[in-house]
């Protein structure tokens, strides 16, 4: 996590963005963005004790904190499909025992996948 409080403190002491970036550590672009955002919000050092890095991040970037949670895959469905596919492959191996699976896959890929496009 970015140390917003430390960036603001070092900036108030007159350190350059490069020295702040080396000290914190983060990129110079991050330091510039944090200082620019702090200036827009009229924040300056010293900060109140309740303004932690987490609170400052929510203040600086409210959209990042309000974005929806990532959708998780439907693992039951994936398991069902993979199980079906595995059974299907096993049946093919039994039925076409003289065909090497890699040959079958090439044939399947060239005929089935291309025909679906």
- CA 79 – CA 73 distance, rounded (Å): 11
Number of helical (H) and strand (E) elements in the chain, helices listed first: 8, 0
pLDDT, tens digit (0-9, with 9 covering 90-100), for 16-46: 999 999 999 899 999 999 999 999 999 888 8
pLDDT of residue 64: 66
32 phi-psi bin (left φ>0, alpha ψ -120 to 50, beta other): alpha
pLDDT of residue 117: 46
Query: pTM for this structure?
Result: 0.55
pLDDT of residue 7: 93
In the predicted model, residues of the chain with pLDDT beneath 50 are 115-117
pLDDT of residue 113: 56
Domain boundaries defined on the chain:
4-66, 75-116
Contact 23, 6 (CB under 8 A): yes
């Amino acid at each position: 996590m970015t140390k917003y409080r430390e960036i603001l403190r070092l900036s108030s002491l007159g350190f350059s963005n490069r020295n702040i970036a080396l000290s914190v550590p983060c990129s110079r672009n991050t330091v510039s963005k944090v200082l620019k955002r702090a200036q827009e919000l009229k924040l300056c050092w010293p900060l109140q004790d309740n303004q932690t890095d987490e609170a400052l991040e929510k203040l600086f970037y409210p959209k990042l904190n309000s974005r929806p949670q990532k959708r998780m895959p439907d693992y039951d469905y994936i398991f069902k499909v993979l199980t079906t596919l595995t059974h299907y492959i096993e049946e093919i191996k039994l039925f076409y025992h003289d065909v090497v699976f890699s040959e079958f896959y090439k044939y399947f890929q060239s005929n089935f996948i291309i025909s679906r496009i």
